[in-house]
Amino acid sequence: MKLLITGGAGYVGSVLSNLALQKGFQVKAVDWLWFNEQIPLQNYSNPNYEFIKGDICDKNFTATLFQGVDFVIHTAAVVGDPASKLFPELTTKINYDASLHLIEQAKQNQIKGFVFLSTCSNYGVANDLATEDTPLNPLSLYASSKVDTETYLMEKSGDLNWVIGRLSTVYGLSPRMRFDLTVNDFTLCGFKDKKIDIFLPESYRPYIHTFDLSNILLTLVNQFDKVKNNVFNIGFEGENYQKIQIANAVKALMPETAINILREGGDKRDYQVSFAKLHRFIDVKQYFNVEKSVKEIHEALSNGLIPHPEEKVYYNTSPRF
Ligand SMILES: NC(=O)c1ccc[n+]([C@@H]2O[C@H](COP(=O)([O-])OP(=O)(O)OC[C@H]3O[C@@H](n4cnc5c(N)ncnc54)[C@H](O)[C@@H]3O)[C@@H](O)[C@H]2O)c1
């Protein structure tokens, strides 16, 4: 089975590509390498892997990508509220316009299924446990670009079968590491600065590890007939955490870490999410949790595997071009 993974060199896309290869999929990864040009090299010697460098905003380029492809997993985007604030025009162009022509081309090419990576940020602030039917409340351009693409996929994609995954905030190691995500960021702050700054410490969000996420996405592809044309919150029960709980997990490992509560910050997202629907449809094991991942990130930092974590490549607000 051949997968076209857009954003295949990204934080999620590179872990997903690796796991897909391990599970016997053929992978065609596409990326314009906004952050790190080295990522695809790790798989070049695998005959089931193909990397194509290019911009998904270029319709003529994307039209050439579908030959032999069974499923598209569309991860490429301007990702995160801060990056979308810095690059608003690009956010609309990549996250919405390019997604629309990819959906249309997938339809023309009679692809078996289109998996769209959306976000639980779409819930914004929710008082009750958010299910897939909870009204959406996007608080940023990033989230509204995802909501608009979801709407197009649900209402205008015709014969194309799809799955929308509303992802929890991701954590854990990746060949394209990100240190602008809460768990990774707090672990680095504990390691490097011995201090974690938190705004709205009691606010909740759901979290998921890169590996568990990739495993779920590939399970959805493998069981596509059962899951198609559904929206799923992607995560596990028990993985809704308050920010202070994540800081405490870091402090448990690095007791000298000071936790500093800020009066102002900006990120007001506060929601807990139900994953009951996903786990009614598929049976998938959870391998990681926040505590375990804080340890793996700490170990990678201690072993010097990421010698300069402050470098721009690890932050989505500092692309190379
Ligand atoms: N990381 C999270 O916590 C999180 C949470 C919810 C949803 N998501 C979704 O998961 C997906 C992947 O996120 P990520 O954390 O891996 O982000 P990322 O920024 O690491 O990866 C995105 C990749 O897309 C590529 N890309 C961007 N624009 C492109 C273009 N025009 N042409 C070709 N490639 C392009 C980038 O070079 C990058 O490698 C996104 O769709 C995001 O909205 C992520």
The number of helices, as runs of H, and strands, as runs of E, in the chain is 12, 12
Confidence at residue 154, expressed as pLDDT on a 0 to 100 scale? 97
User: Would you say the CB of residue 313 lies under 6 angstroms from ligand 1?
Assistant: no
Question: Cβ neighbours of residue 156 under 8 Å, at least 6 residues apart?
Answer: none
Please determine, for residue 233, whether its predicted confidence score (pLDDT) is greater than 90.
yes
Give residue-wise pLDDT tens across range 147-181: 999 999 999 999 999 999 999 999 999 999 999 99
Domain ranges for the chain: 2-170+207-234, 178-204+239-269+289-314
What spacing in Å lies between the alpha carbon of 53 and ligand 1's midpoint?
A: 15
Confidence at residue 255, expressed as pLDDT on a 0 to 100 scale? 98
Please determine, for residue 69, whether its predicted confidence score (pLDDT) is greater than 80.
yes
The dihedral of CA 159, 162, 164, 170: what is its sign? negative
Q: Which residue is closest in CA terms to ligand 1's atom 38? A: 10
The fourth-level CATH superfamily of domain 2-170+207-234 is NAD(P)-binding Rossmann-like Domain (3.40.50.720)
Tokens representing 219? 């399970």
Please determine, for residue 33, whether its predicted confidence score (pLDDT) is greater than 80.
yes
User: Would you say the CB of residue 227 lies under 6 angstroms from ligand 1?
Assistant: no
pLDDT, average across residues 181-198: 98
Select from 79, 209, 213 the residue to mutate for testing ligand 1; criterion: most ligand atoms less than 8 Å from CB. Answer: 79
The torsion angles phi and psi of 79, rounded to 5 degrees, stand at -115, 125
Cβ proximity of 145 and 139 under 8 Å:
no
Give residue-wise pLDDT tens across range 89-132: 999 999 999 999 999 999 999 999 999 999 999 998 888 899 99
Q: Rg of the chain's alpha carbons, rounded to an integer?
A: 19
What spacing in Å lies between the alpha carbon of 7 and ligand 1's midpoint?
A: 6
pLDDT, average across residues 279-292: 98
Please determine, for residue 82, whether its predicted confidence score (pLDDT) is greater than 80.
yes
> pTM for the full model?
0.98
pLDDT, average across residues 276-285: 98
Confidence at residue 267, expressed as pLDDT on a 0 to 100 scale? 79
Give residue-wise pLDDT tens across range 296-314: 999 999 999 999 999 999 9
Select from 34, 51, 147, 239 the residue to mutate for testing ligand 1; criterion: most ligand atoms less than 8 Å from CB. Answer: 34
pLDDT, average across residues 260-287: 92
Confidence at residue 265, expressed as pLDDT on a 0 to 100 scale? 74
Name the architecture of domain 178-204+239-269+289-314.
Alpha-Beta Complex (3.90)
Q: How far apart are CA 124 and CA 147, in angstroms?
A: 11
User: Would you say the CB of residue 235 lies under 6 angstroms from ligand 1?
Assistant: no
Tokens representing 308? 């300069």
Q: Tell me, what DSSP letter sits at residue 80?
A: S
Confidence at residue 263, expressed as pLDDT on a 0 to 100 scale? 82
User: Would you say the CB of residue 176 lies under 6 angstroms from ligand 1?
Assistant: yes
User: Would you say the CB of residue 170 lies under 6 angstroms from ligand 1?
Assistant: yes
Select from 5, 6, 12 the residue to mutate for testing ligand 1; criterion: most ligand atoms less than 8 Å from CB. Answer: 12
User: Would you say the CB of residue 316 lies under 6 angstroms from ligand 1?
Assistant: yes
Query: What confidence category does residue 268 fall into, taking pLDDT thresholds of 50, 70 and 90?
Result: confident
User: Would you say the CB of residue 65 lies under 6 angstroms from ligand 1?
Assistant: no
pLDDT, average across residues 261-280: 90
